[in-house]
Amino acid sequence: MSKHQKPIQIASRTSRLALIQVEEVMQNLPQVNYTIIKTDSMGDKDKQRSLLSGVPSDFFTREIDHLLLSGEADIAVHSAKDLPYPLPEGLMVAALLPALDQSDALVTASGLPPEKLPAGSRIGTSSPLRKREMEAYYPHLKIVSVRGTIEERIAQADNGFMDGVIVATCALIRLQLEHRIACVLPFKTNPLQGHLAVVTLSNRSDMVALFSLFDCRQNWGKVTIAGFGPGNPELLTVKAEKALQQADILFYDDLLDAGYLEKYRDEKVYVGKRSSNHAFSQDEINEKLRLAAISGKNVIRIKGGDPLIFGRGIEEYHYLKSNLVDTSLIPGISSGQAAAAESVIPLTARGVSSSVAFLSGHDLDKLVIPDADTLVFYMASANQQHLALKLISAGRNNLTPVAVIQNASYPNQVVRRYTLDSLSKATEVLESPIILIVGWTAARNNDQMPQKWLYTGTNPAHCHEDGLVVHAPLIQISGLNPSEQEKQIINEMSKFNRIIFTSRYSVEHFFKWLFGQGLDVRAIAQLSIDAIGATTSEALKNKGLNVAPLSEDESSDGMIQYYRNNGISGEKILLPRSDKGLPILPEGLKKLGNTVTILTVYSNRKPTNIVVQNLTDFFGVVFSSPSTVSNFYDVYSHFPTHLQYRFRGHNTQKRFNELNHKE
């Protein structure tokens, strides 16, 4: 191969070890010219910070990564264990060199091994992993933080600042300092220790082709983490089936039909974890997967259900990827999905449930109940009654249906139906494995369903009807930008005596205009402030203004009557409102002798994405404003007589009567 006409630009840290590592890599390509761009990393500059207390993952690579991403360097050479995970977007590992030595060594000034050092001897390290291992193996020693280059660390031991330091054996070999080794330590090290990594831009196919010639990963296998489904082999995906057929070794846990795996002739390793009976710890499982892959085997890790739903699949995935093992994920049918299908329970259903949450019922003390319509609980067999009580105490209707499904997807599947109340009092419950589904979609039939109310306003929290509230807004509120004339009005608030807020939207968007002019609540502090209705009053309270509602029924007529009864006349009144505001209020105020200035601060439109409901399923409709009534009529063309109707405000009901009279 001829020499490159243009030398490869290699980014490296400035230490002697880092430069030796560059030379070690480039010895594999003697025909290639190169130039080293030396730079100090954040970790090289800041030697006061202890690595034992945690530092950014790119503490030793950030500046070098910048040289690559900016195009100033073609490749970078790193100790592989220093690589951040994940790598910055746009970067990739082009090659991983075989490990020189993966052990740790102890260097002591006295040359003594750790077991012969006096109690309390100070041993320096920069690795939390090494600290934990040393404390476990040699509890009589005091493990302290040390920083600096390898030479600087050894000097601290020689100068008496500490009694010894822990150093990667490969670093001592590369620096020709192996004669300083007092002993090789017996514990495991970082899986990437001793490896050198060549990093380049993801789109530099030329660098990848050049350096992949000596990438040891070419001899590695790969890992596929696949969901087996709930246990019934008929629910195994085609993709997972293909992966099983191609595997050399299979790691599996507590599949409900593990006998199905007998058809595969690959090596099988059981790594299940049932309650307190664990074949292996999670760390041991992670390492077994990695070792199988780097030995060249095509590995499949089969997990019950879906590997990313309470399967700890993501922990295994990140462990393997962070150690540069080719790893992929195949989804599976979760037991929660299978249980729902087999018991004919929709996890979402139009008009009943628009959200679903998957939860663990194992530890109720840590359980945070989300605001979702349907709840699917895994691992809840031992806590069924307590879980029901917790949901009731959290505000769930005690008549909410519950389905408990045992052996989901199997011929011996059992389904029992409860309400939260009856489950909380049950004396006998199904044993593991179970899935517990809570929500109105779990009702056996419509007789169990609560009264359904269609709420047409923008905030369903303002709907207080008993039963199931389906939020289908028939108005869309949008703020407007003030004109120059309107800005002038905002800046001259002192010209007014009084301001009337007719809705929480008028409060919200008026204050946006006010703040937009660089003003705050003090600009209206000298004005008399009135609010129609409790929701408007609450919105003002959130702005720091304690204003009692003058019209409890949120009606303009009620406001006008209050002004008439209290002789409020001859005042200059500012009225922030929507572009659909009715003329009743301003005209009524003017008839009492007041001057009214209207600010149109927001628009009220019919939404473009209205979901048309099946009204036969509903008990009633709640209208929040005259606009919701008008838009309902536009959408449904009539007001079904079987429905109950509730109204927020006199004018809302008045609009309903006008349209209903037309039919």
- Tens of pLDDT, residue by residue over 382-395, are 999 999 999 999 98
pLDDT on residue 3: 45
Q: For tokens 């008009």, what's the residue?
A: 351
Q: State the catalytic residues.
A: 253, 273
pLDDT digits (tens, 9 = 90+) for 57-107: 999 999 999 999 999 999 999 999 999 999 999 999 999 999 999 999 999
The model's pTM is 0.76
Beta bridge partners of 226: 302, 330
C-alpha 27/C-alpha 19 separation (Å) is 13
The domain locations on the chain are 8-98+195-217, 105-170, 220-333, 351-447, 452-475+607-662, 477-605
For 39, the token pair is: 């730079």
Closest CA to 497 of 470, 467, 527, 519: 527
Please tell us whether the domain made up of 220-333 is placed in CATH 3.40.190.10. no
Which CATH architecture best describes the domain 477-605? 3-Layer(aba) Sandwich (3.40)
C-alpha 439/C-alpha 397 separation (Å) is 10
Identify the CATH number of the domain defined by range 351-447: 3.30.950.10
Looking at CATH, the fold of the domain delimited by 8-98+195-217 is given as D-Maltodextrin-Binding Protein; domain 2 (3.40.190)
Contact status, residue 286 vs residue 320, Cβ threshold 8 Å: yes
In CATH terms, are 8-98+195-217 and 105-170 the same topology? yes
Contact status, residue 74 vs residue 207, Cβ threshold 8 Å: yes
Cα-Cα-Cα-Cα dihedral sign, residues 245, 248, 252, 257:
positive
Residue segments in the chain with a per-residue pLDDT below the cut of 50:
1-4
CB count in 10 Å sphere of residue 243: 21
Highest CATH level, class, for 105-170: alpha beta
Contact status, residue 163 vs residue 108, Cβ threshold 8 Å: yes
SS3 574: strand
Contact status, residue 243 vs residue 300, Cβ threshold 8 Å: yes
Beta bridge partners of 437: 376, 403
Spatial neighbors of 579 by CB under 8 A, at least 6 apart, are: 480, 600, 602, 603, 604
Describe the crossing of helices 534-541 and 504-516 by its angle, rounded to 10 degrees: 30
C-alpha 273/C-alpha 282 separation (Å) is 9
